[in-house]
Amino acid sequence: MKEIIQVNKISYSYPERPLLFNQLSLTVHQGEWLAIIGQNGSGKSTLARLIDGLLVLNQGEIIVDDLMVNDQNIYDIRDRIGMVFQNPEDQFVGATVEDDVAFGLENRLVKREKMHEIVEKSLKNVGMWDFRERIPANLSGGQKQRVAIAGIIALSPKIIILDEATSMLDPRGRKEILKLVRHLKEQNRLTVISITHDIDEAAEADRVIVLNQGKIIDENTPRAIFSHSKRLKEVGLDIPYTAKLIAALVKRGIVAEKSYMDDKELITWIQQLVSAK
Amino acid sequence: MSNFIFGRYLPGHSWIHQMSPQSKLLLCFYFVVVIFFANNLPSYGVLCVLILVAILSSGISIMYFLKGIRPLIWLIIFTVLLQILFSSGGHVLWHFGPFSVTDESLINGGFIFMRFLLIIMISTVLTLTTTPLAIADGVQTILKPLKKIRFPVDTLALMLSIALRFVPTLMDEMETIMNAQRARGVDFGSGSLKHRVKAAVPLLVPLFTGAINHAENLSTAMEARGFSDSEHRTKYRLYKWQGKDTISWLIFILVGVAVLFIRK
């Protein structure tokens, strides 16, 4: 598989603070869903901002789709990456839904007729076309994030970075947004990087990177990562619901052969246990 | 705040709704200038008829306009009373100490009342039929000539539209902070002046820091979406000068000329 993002031995620190990243390297493959998890202050969001060129590296290099992240390529790189941020309120630039989706297109000097076409298509794609004349104050958090996603797919990027995009939403809004992104990813063969501390969101990824204090401490499929839940707990992260349930059962003398299963596996296993008795 | 209708927008599809914002803004300004030319009963009569036609053609109930005046009524009454009680000239009808009421001062007071009324009416017609965004765009179009002297018109328009977009957000936030501080025992709106000013501090400081946070996050989000500067951009919305604008301007100019002839 092609590597769409390469992070080579980067170092970064915020002014007047100790080094956050020291010689960090990682790669993202084209078309994968990568989850980066870690506690607050582990450097997840900083990493996303470095990839998009919103922060400037101290050392090392980042290559996005064969382009080095630097001043000359910055707008080409931002054409390829769409970012959804944490706070739905703060990334809503436009006065209405339509204007917000059009913002990125206006910056890229798209012609007006073409713009109207794309805005309509993008808003229909996320199911917000009926809300096009609403102002942000009259939208829920989940709806605002949908609009943010519409603004990004209007620019047809290759990579979507969700920078804790669901952390301020209720469980239903979170599920809806993730479903939407998954659908868009499959439809347009996108690469998705989701930065999160929601463990259930990470469980849906193809690959998980665990970041702690600027260092990668684990990198594997969600299944493999969640099978060693002890290590997650050590760095202050939660474990998925099913893993908790299995652990609780083990405590009561019901031994499972695996320490992590997804919902379906867990249900079949319990059904087997019950029918065996 | 709920009965303060000045600056609120009511959606609709009337003649006035469909006019371009730049012509509405200029028309509003022009009308205010004309108001100051009127100085006798017939000229005010003509202007009243015109404003009534404008209100009726906006398709918005007249009750809304009356509500718009309500918060300003004390200011109007105060000014009118000052005018009536302290002006001289004409026959004295009643006097007491430094106060006197003359027939001329009564008439002048009436005119001032009419001016207030007409100015509030026309600006309410403007804000009720135009979205804040359209007003920002209108300002940008009107100020375009200033670009020649390197005035940053596009940046100003962007700032204006972001400011307008954040008004409801910051209002909500203020409400939340106020309630949060009340829950901790801060008493807003009672006690001496000094006490009240002190009570405003736990409201203003978080509101400011919140605004700075918003600004930082918003600018990051704007940059990530490819914003480089406010000049090299295309525009999603287009507000063109239309036939409706020309016709409205013709009517207003005719009325303006008529007022010039009728006035004393």
**What was the ipTM of the complex prediction?**
0.85
Give the tens place of pLDDT for each residue, B105-114.
Answer: 888 888 889 9
Establish if B186 touches chain A: CB-CB under 8 angstroms: no
Q: Which residues of B touch A49 (CB under 8 A)?
A: 220
Say if the Cβ atoms of A107 and B162 lie within 8 Å: no
Q: Structure pTM?
A: 0.79
Return all residues near A212 (Cβ < 8 A) that are at least 6 apart: A38, A39, A42, A235
Q: Which of A227-231, B59-63, B90-94, B216-220 has the lowest mean pLDDT?
A: B90-94
3-class DSSP state for residue B210? Answer: helix
Position B239 pLDDT exceeds 50:
yes
Establish if B162 touches chain A: CB-CB under 8 angstroms: yes
Q: Which of B22, B118, B20 is nearest to B72 (CA)?
A: B118
Position B166 pLDDT exceeds 60:
yes
Establish if B169 touches chain A: CB-CB under 8 angstroms: yes
Section B111-138 average pLDDT: 87
Average pLDDT of chain B to the nearest whole number = 85
Amino acid at B249: W
Position B232 pLDDT exceeds 60:
yes
Instruction: Note the pLDDT of residue A13.
Output: 85
Give the tens place of pLDDT for each residue, B182-228.
Answer: 999 888 877 788 888 888 888 999 999 999 999 999 999 999 998 88
Position B90 pLDDT exceeds 80:
no
Instruction: Note the pLDDT of residue B7.
Output: 53
Q: Find which of A52, A84, A92, A93 to mutate to test the B interface (most B CBs within 10 Å of its CB).
A: A93
Q: Which residues of A touch B164 (CB under 8 A)?
A: 95
Say if the Cβ atoms of B226 and A99 lie within 8 Å: no
> Which residue blocks in chain A are alpha helix, DSSP H?
44-51, 74-80, 97-107, 112-125, 141-153, 171-188, 199-202, 222-227, 229-234, 241-251, 263-276
> CA torsion sign, B35 to B37 to B40 to B46?
negative
Instruction: Note the pLDDT of residue B218.
Output: 92
Instruction: Note the pLDDT of residue A1.
Output: 65
d(CA A179, CA A189) in angstroms, rounded, equals 15
Position B254 pLDDT exceeds 90:
yes
Query: What is the share, in percent, of chain B residues with pLDDT greater than 70?
Result: 96
Instruction: Note the pLDDT of residue B2.
Output: 44
* pLDDT by residue, tens only, chain A of 277 residues: 678 888 888 888 888 788 888 888 999 999 999 999 988 888 888 999 999 989 988 888 899 988 888 888 888 899 999 999 998 888 888 888 999 999 999 999 999 999 999 999 999 988 899 998 888 888 888 899 999 999 999 999 999 999 988 888 888 888 888 899 999 999 888 999 999 888 878 888 999 999 888 889 888 888 888 887 777 888 778 888 888 888 888 889 888 777 777 788 888 888 888 888 7
Task: Measure B204 CA to nearest chain A CA, in Å.
Answer: 20
Say if the Cβ atoms of B225 and A155 lie within 8 Å: yes
> Helices A141-153 and A112-125 meet at what angle, rounded to 10?
130
Tokens for A170, please give them. 């209720």
Q: Find which of A83, A97, A106 to mutate to test the B interface (most B CBs within 10 Å of its CB).
A: A106
Position B4 pLDDT exceeds 70:
no
